[in-house]
Chain A
Amino acid sequence: MTRASVSPKFLFSIVGMVFLIIVPEIATTGFFLHMATVILLWTILCLSLNVIFGYGGQLSLAHGGLFGVGAYVYGVLATKLGIHFWLAFPAAGIVTGIVGLLIGIPSLRLKGPYFVIVTLGFNIILVAIIRNLTSLTGGVNGLVGIPGPGIIPGPFFALDFNSKTSQYYLILFFLLVFWLVMYFIRDSRIGKCLAAIKEDEDLCQSVGINTMWVKVQTFLLSSILAGLGGVLYASYIGVLAPDDASFHVGFDALVYLTVGGIGSVVGTILGPVVMILISEFLQAFVEIRLFINGLALVILIIFMPQGLRGGVAYLWKRLFQTRGNAT
Chain B
Amino acid sequence: MAELLQQVLNALVLGCIYCLVASGLTLVYGIMHVPNFAQGNLYMAGAYVVFLLESLFGINYWFVFLATLLIMGAVGWAIERVCFRPVRNAPHVNSFVVALGVLMAIEGLIVIFFGADYKEVEAPWKRIVDCGGVTIGGQRLLLILGTLLTMAILQYFIKRTKKGMSLDAMSQNRELALVVGINVNQMSLLAFMISTGLAGVAGALMAPVSFVYPAMGMTPLLVAFAAVIFGGMGNLSGAVLGSFVMAGAQVFSTQYLSSVFSDIAIFGIMIAILLFRPKGILGGRG
Contact = CB atoms under 8 A, between A and B. Distances in A.
A138 interface: no
Contacts of A98: none
A293 B274 contact: no
B270 interface: yes
Interface string A208-242: 00000000000000000000000000000000000
A114 B92 CA distance: 13
A297 B97 contact: yes
A114 B230 CA distance: 12
Given A121-B226, A292-B108, A128 B260 contact: yes
Interface string A281-316: 000010111111111111001100100000000000
Nearest to B219: A124
B153 interface: no
A120 to B, nearest CB: 7
B167 interface: no
Given A290-B104, A297-B97, A124 B111 contact: no
B132 to A, nearest CB: 36
A297 B96 contact: no
A113 B267 contact: no
Interface stretch (B82-90, B172-180, B242-250): B82-90
B263 A124 contact: yes
Interface residues of A, number: 39
B71 interface: no
B97 A291 contact: no
B178 to A, nearest CB: 21
Interface string B80-109: 000100110011111011101111111111
A305 B12 CA distance: 43
Nearest to A124: B263
Contacts of A110: 274, 278
Contact of B83 (A113, A291, A298): A298
B30 interface: no
Given A57-B93, A121-B222, A121-B267, A291 B260 contact: no
B93 A59 contact: yes
Contact of B104 (A116, A120, A251, A285): A251
Nearest to B115: A287
Contacts of B263: 124-125, 128
Contacts of A305: 90, 94
B104 A287 contact: no
Interface in A261-295: 285, 287-295
A251 to B, nearest CB: 6
Contacts of A291: 104-105, 107-109, 111-112
A110 B106 CA distance: 29
A61 to B, nearest CB: 8
Interface string A86-130: 000000000000000000001001101110111011101100100
B271 A113 contact: no
A141 interface: no
Contact of B100 (A57, A112, A251): A251
B197 interface: no
Contacts of B94: 301, 305
Contacts, number: 121
Contact of A113 (B87, B96, B264): B96
A133 to B, nearest CB: 10
A121 B147 CA distance: 27
A305 B96 CA distance: 13
A124 B267 contact: yes
Given A106-B271, A290-B111, A114 B278 contact: yes
B43 interface: no
B116 interface: yes
A294 B103 CA distance: 7
B83 A293 contact: no
A131 B259 CA distance: 11
Contacts of A137: none
Interface in A137-178: none
A249 interface: no
A293 B33 CA distance: 24
B225 A117 contact: yes
A294 B270 contact: no
A125 B267 contact: yes
B229 interface: yes
A132 interface: yes
A121 B270 contact: yes
Interface in A51-101: 57, 59
Nearest to A303: B86
Contacts of A112: 92-93
Interface of B: 29, 33-35, 83, 86-87, 90-94, 96-98, 100-109, 111-112, 115-116, 222, 225-226, 229, 233, 260, 263-264, 267, 270-271, 274-275, 278
Query: Closest 9 A-B residue pairs measured CB to CB?
Result: A291-B108, A294-B104, A294-B105, A297-B101, A290-B108, A298-B101, A121-B267, A113-B35, A128-B263
Interface of A: 57, 59, 106, 109-110, 112-114, 116-118, 120-122, 124-125, 128, 131-132, 251, 254-255, 258, 285, 287-298, 301-302, 305
Given A124-B263, A298-B102, 20 more contacts: A106-B271, A110-B274, A113-B35, A113-B96, A114-B274, A117-B270, A121-B222, A121-B267, A121-B270, A125-B264, A288-B108, A290-B104, A290-B107, A291-B105, A293-B108, A297-B97, A301-B87, A301-B97, A301-B98, A301-B101
